[in-house]
A and B are shown apart, each in its own frame.
Chain A
Amino acid sequence: MKIAVCINHVPDTAAKINIGNDRKSIDTAGVAYVVNPYDEFAIEEALKTKEKFGGETVAISLGSDANKETLRKALAMGIDEAILLKDESYRDSLSVAKALADEIKSQNAEIVFFGKQSVDFDNGVIGQMVAELLNYNSVSNVIKLIIEGNKITAEREIEGGKEIVETTLPVVITAQKGLNEPRYASLKGIMAAKKKNIIEKIPANYQNNVELIEMKKPASKQPGRIIGTDASAVQELIRLLKEEAKVI
């Protein structure tokens, strides 16, 4: 069985993000990049799936040379093979999904893992789009996964609870926090990853359907009022919530 995991290289969640001069991209100076946090759950689940059923794991990332760092991390965690779809142009989600789907198809992967969303553009759509393009089943926002033969049972997080979903292979799973505890790369893994080759490919170009017009800073909230420093402030707080904010 071929198991694919699609991963993204994103600014560290604690990074301060500034808008670049073109107002359509961010100023990357001084910004540290990491593996998209949700993709770590996806990588871990790919590794676990291989440990159980055998097969081969492949990590795929679309982006610039910088994404190799993230692919390296996946290799260090134990992923067998890494592919960089090298492209630095602006692509909307569907165009990214098409490029990834092309590669997954040529890899003939039967099970594909994604993080439930990438924390840069926060769209949360690529996994499901890839599933649709490949005609695979899909379950998004997954916090538990059981594979038995051809059958998939997954729990996905919903408002107020979880849905237990049944489907079959081939499948795309998008990982939510809670699915597993991502492992740390071992020293041996890190050394081995350094020697592994990252395969570079040029993905096909697809037309964008979504145009980014501009990025802007959210209106900064006026820092609020400190009403007091002990319980005597509570009466005033409740009054403000009632009369000024009118929320209670």
Chain B
Amino acid sequence: MSSLAVRKAAPAAGTTPGTAQGPPLRRRIAFVPTVTLLIGALYCLLPVAWVVIAATKSGSELFSTFTFLPGTGFTQNISDLNAYRDGVYWKWMGNSALYAGLGALLSTAVSAFSGYALAIYRFRGRETVFNILLAGVLMPPVILAIPQYLLMAKADLTDSYASVLLPLILSPYGVYLARIYSAAAVPADVVEAGRMDGASELRIFTRIALPMMVPGLVTVFLFQFVAVWNNFLLPYIMLSDDEKFPITLGLFTLLEQGSNTPALYTLVITGALLAVIPLVALFLVIQRFWSLDLLSGAVKS
């Protein structure tokens, strides 16, 4: 990100004498790009703005007042949501946090081990292993989820936390990213020096390589966290007990019931707003530390 600033600043500084004929060139704004981006931003923020306002409306206001006019029912909506089936909503949020947090943590660990092995060692079958793992990215989730469900049923594990957690631990994309990061961040000399000092391979990995890989692994963790938090299909197939639902599935069932009882719509809307807050907050905090380059797998030398 910083390299861009340097590249952009250099020619601008050279071409801005700030002559008497007009304002300095660098202070001029390129209108077309700026306005295009603003329109894009408005489009992307529209549903978010809507849900913030709609959550303040009482059930009757929702259908009667102008959509972008704030209502008076926000606190009532929150307490309705709290009261709904003894606070099952908060159970869903907790479940999502558990699935996404623990799932992403385990997934990052597995990705780190595999990515490091694939990047650092030369061994027989390396490319084969990598290609087979990558082919996993191409598998449509339903192809996996239905036989996974049937196999889980044979193992008597359906409708359990494990049934949603276990299948998501291995992420081919996470392994791919971890391989790129370790290749870029862990110099072969350092690994070799560790061996000279008589450290075991595991010790070299945990004490020397792992700290070097941390910035990349943070990206893998966040990527997996978002992927699991947003997942719908697997819990939809695996779970029937709504005490174990993640927030996505919980809100979906609420919306389904809402089509018969429109009074539930205000609950769905308020619930959707509260469900979005943790991820958006996480997103705003991390984007300061999280280089967007890392997300696309591009590592600069």
Q: Real complex partners, A and B?
A: no
Instruction: List chain B positions with a Cβ less than 8 A from chain A.
Output: none
